[in-house]
Amino acid sequence: MALQASSVLPSALSLHKEQGKLLDTGFLGVSLTDHHLKSDFSPLALKCKRESNQRNKSLGPIKAQTTATTLGVNSATGEGKKTLRKGTVIITGASSGLGLATAKALAETGKWHVIMACRDFLKTERAAKSVGLSKENYTVMHLDLSSLDSVRQFVDNFRRSERPLDVLVCNAAVYQPTAKEPSFTADGFELSVGTNHLGHFLLSRLLLGDLTKSDYPSKRLIIVGSITGNTNTLAGNVPPKANLGDLRGMAGGLNGLNSSSMIDGGEFDGAKAYKDSKVCNMLTMQEFHKRYHEETGITFASLYPGCIATTGLFREHIPLFRLLFPPFQKYITKGYVSEEESGKRLAQVVSEPSLTKSGVYWSWNNNSASFENQLSQEASDEEKARKVWEVSEKLVGLV
């Protein structure tokens, strides 16, 4: 049986000590010297990425930039001055953590109206107040990603608001590391993949036309990914590892009845289901880019915002994990970022003119400088991206 590192961090560490294998197999069975593993922050990787970033800055955004002077602008008063109109951004899961911090970072610029697309209205209103959002900068709209009906209803409601859609951020997620049995969405899909991937897949497919219509200078669709879905990193090699296999469970509907609840057809594992869902998120971004970037001019992007070890994502983890995870990330892996910093990062991907390149998985180095990161083999597998897309569109009823 695979070592369940996610079940409890310190005991996972001591297990290897007891077995005397720490030196042989490295940290949690992951060899630290394995040349296949690339730290996100390796100086060489950073240098290459910065160079390609520079190249792309000069080439990539031309199309979007040239439209900036004519589109998405308001003609201001008598002087004939033109200003960029306020952008509208939908952020799913904006009631806490990364989503809330991003809503705050964008709203306080005064340049964005944030649609907080959330399942709990009251919680979201309270959260908005707690971070000082002012009323004219946000609207709460109901969205439960674990129900395809709710996704469709959200899209209808949003259209009725008659706001343009300039940026969509697929951020919401659930993580069930301690669940012994799978739970399911309203449509019968395993909950993590159903919510984190399938709900967002339907949402973004339905809203693609709305984004395309936007006259904003740089319209974007952003799907939040993670390091833990990327097996070319140390974090991505902590068991259980992401692996979509041949998608047999997904093709069977992830319902745990006539098919497995896991994408690869294996036994249920909540931590793996989450990581698999993040691989789907990152593959979906690339498939969107391949199919629609040229035609629509939309920037499709994903990101790893850093390890925001204090968020509600870990609410179902055991208390000891929640206690030790933040200091572990702060002082040992040094991968920790505050919610505020992570919000600034995602806000950059939403609005920075320098981050208009499409098809990119963004990360940040220890100085908080963004760079184009490399996805694992599986998370950048074109054939898998196509298959995930095709199976997903069947599951959500688009074909």
Active site residue 274: yes
Binding test (CB under 6 A) with ligand NDP, winner from 60, 61, 99, 217: 99
Binding test (CB under 6 A) with ligand NDP, winner from 87, 97, 236, 256: 97
The upper half-sphere exposure of residue 274, i.e. CA atoms within 13 Å in the direction of its Cβ, equals 20
- Annotated catalytic residue within 216, 274, 336, 361: 274
Residue 63 CA to residue 221 CA, distance in Å, equals 16
Q: Does 29 bind ligand PMR (CB under 6 A)?
A: no
- The residue at minimum Cβ distance from ligand NDP is 97
Confirm if 197 and 280 have CB atoms less than 8 A apart. Answer: yes
Please identify, among the stretches 125-133, 144-152, 179-187, 267-275, the one whose residues bind ligand PMR according to the rule CB under 6 A: 267-275
- Per CB under 6 A, which of residues 311..350 are in contact with ligand NDP? 311-313
- Per CB under 6 A, which of residues 176..205 are in contact with ligand NDP? 195
Residue 222 CA to residue 277 CA, distance in Å, equals 15
Confirm if 273 and 245 have CB atoms less than 8 A apart. Answer: no
* Minimal distance, residue 106 CB to ligand NDP, in Å: 15
Cβ partners under 8 Å of residue 313, min gap 6: 97, 173, 175
Binding test (CB under 6 A) with ligand NDP, winner from 91, 167, 173, 283: 173
Query: Which contiguous run of DSSP H or E holds residue 360?
Result: strand 360-364
Residue 100 CA to residue 96 CA, distance in Å, equals 5
Query: How many helical (H) and strand (E) elements, i.e. helices and strands, does the chain have?
Result: 14, 10
Cβ partners under 8 Å of residue 268, min gap 6: 179, 181, 182, 190, 256, 260, 261, 262
Binding test (CB under 6 A) with ligand PMR, winner from 89, 151, 235, 391: 235
Please identify, among the stretches 6-14, 32-40, 170-178, 349-357, the one whose residues bind ligand NDP according to the rule CB under 6 A: 170-178
* Minimal distance, residue 152 CB to ligand PMR, in Å: 27
Binding test (CB under 6 A) with ligand PMR, winner from 164, 177, 265, 343: 177
At position 307, the amino acid (one-letter code) is C
- Per CB under 6 A, which of residues 257..286 are in contact with ligand NDP? none
CB-CB neighbours of 27 under 10 Å: 16
Question: In the complex with ligand PMR, which residue's Cβ is closer, 153 or 365?
Answer: 365
Confirm if 304 and 233 have CB atoms less than 8 A apart. Answer: no
Nearest C-alpha neighbor of 95 from the set 134, 67, 74, 121: 121
Q: Does 307 bind ligand PMR (CB under 6 A)?
A: yes
Q: If contact means CB under 5 to 8 A according to the sort of partner, which of ligand NDP, ligand PMR, none does residue 335 touch?
A: ligand PMR
**Residue 61 C-alpha from the chain's centroid:** 22
- Per CB under 6 A, which of residues 359..398 are in contact with ligand PMR? none
Q: Which residues are catalytically annotated?
A: 274
Q: Report the interface residues with ligand NDP, using CB under 6 A.
A: 92-93, 95-99, 118-120, 123, 143-146, 171-174, 195, 224, 226, 304-305, 307-309, 311-313
Q: Report the interface residues with ligand PMR, using CB under 6 A.
A: 5-6, 9, 12-13, 27-28, 175, 177, 226-228, 234-235, 238, 271, 274-275, 307, 333, 335
